[in-house]
């Protein structure tokens, strides 16, 4: 079992650009959530996808959008990047016993 | 919104027990979790407890839940240098339709040889 996999591992973008991050959930999991973890803080919930639809959303602007594919993999898109978007972006796939996280994508906006 | 609080830092000597504490505000929490994060890595699920339980033990880990005080603790017995990491508690509320977790800010555990 490969667990939750994310790509890329690191990314550097310029302010104003757009970025797409990718996630494949743990085998057998159909729900994918995305979290943003700023340096020195706990993860903050962005949104969750289930059956290819956004099921729940945290307090993030519309610049943050996502997608889930029929194979349950997911993308996180961020438009018009700001310096404050620099963070570790974590993907999690869910079971009742807990959410299992990938290693994250470290996004740096310069 | 819901809130989860943790102390920032804990230092212990190798072989001692560590106790990491967490408080939360959501009285409808169904599950509470402990995650471990090592430098540059994602979150590793250590253990969880259902809200109708008081205690759960898993090898060196003991979770205590005081639902009345909304207090959760993680005890690590015989702490090793490899336990040095940031520990996050998280809760899942009954009132959210999905599986959204609310995290604390993390407790950095330093284990001295």
Alpha carbon A15 to its chain's center:
19
**Residues linked to residue A105 through DSSP beta bridges, in sequence order:** A89
CB spacing of B105 vs A41 below 8 angstroms: yes
Measured CA to CA, the distance from residue A103 to residue A7 in angstroms comes to: 9
Confidence of residue A97 (pLDDT cuts 50, 70, 90): low
Smallest Cβ distance to B98: which of A44, A56, A103? A56
The reported pLDDT for the residue numbered A1 is: 62
The reported pLDDT for the residue numbered B35 is: 97
Kindly state whether A46 is in contact with chain B, defined as any CB-CB distance less than 8 angstroms.
no
Closest Cα in chain A, distance from residue B78 (Å)? 26
Measured CA to CA, the distance from residue B9 to residue B108 in angstroms comes to: 5
Give backbone dihedrals phi and psi of A38, rounded to 5 degrees, phi first: -75, 160
pLDDT: is B1 or B43 the higher one? Answer: B43
Residues B85-107, mean pLDDT to the nearest whole number: 86
Measured CA to CA, the distance from residue B65 to residue B54 in angstroms comes to: 5
For A68-94, write each residue's pLDDT tens digit.
999 999 999 999 999 999 999 999 998
For B46-63, write each residue's pLDDT tens digit.
999 998 899 999 999 999
CB of A49 within 8 A of CB of A56?
Answer: no
Confidence of residue B98 (pLDDT cuts 50, 70, 90): low
Kindly state whether A104 is in contact with chain B, defined as any CB-CB distance less than 8 angstroms.
yes
Percent of chain B residues topping a pLDDT of 90: 78
Measured CA to CA, the distance from residue A24 to residue A28 in angstroms comes to: 11
Token reading at A69: 């594919």
DSSP codes, A62-98:
TTEEEEE-TTS-EEEEE-S--GGG-EEEEEEEEETTE
Bridge-based pairing state of the strands A10-13 and A19-24: unpaired
Residues A18-47, mean pLDDT to the nearest whole number: 95
Confidence of residue A28 (pLDDT cuts 50, 70, 90): confident
Alpha carbon B68 to its chain's center:
17
Smallest Cβ distance to B88: which of A33, A42, A55? A42
């Amino acid at each position: 079992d490969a667990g939750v996999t994310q790509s890329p591992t690191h990314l550097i973008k310029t302010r104003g650009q757009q970025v797409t991050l990718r996630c494949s959930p743990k085998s057998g999991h159909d729900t994918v959530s995305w979290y943003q973890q700023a340096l020195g803080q706990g993860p903050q919930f962005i949104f969750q996808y289930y059956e290819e639809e956004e099921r729940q959303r945290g307090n993030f602007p519309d610049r943050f959008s996502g997608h889930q594919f029929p194979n349950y993999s997911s993308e996180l898109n961020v438009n018009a990047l700001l310096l404050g978007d620099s963070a570790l972006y974590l993907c999690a796939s869910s079971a009742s016993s807990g959410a299992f996280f990938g290693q994250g994508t470290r996004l740096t906006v310069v | 919104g819901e809130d989860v609080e943790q102390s920032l830092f804990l230092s212990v000597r190798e072989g001692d027990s560590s106790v990491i504490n967490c408080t939360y505000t959501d009285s409808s929490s169904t599950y509470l979790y402990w995650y471990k994060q090592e430098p540059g890595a994602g979150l590793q699920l250590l253990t969880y407890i259902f809200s109708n339980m008081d205690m759960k033990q898993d090898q060196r880990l003991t979770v205590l839940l005081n639902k009345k005080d909304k207090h959760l603790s993680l005890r690590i017995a015989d702490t090793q240098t490899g336990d040095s990491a940031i520990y996050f508690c998280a809760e899942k509320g009954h009132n959210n339709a999905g599986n959204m977790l609310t995290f604390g800010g993390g407790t950095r555990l330093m284990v001295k040889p």
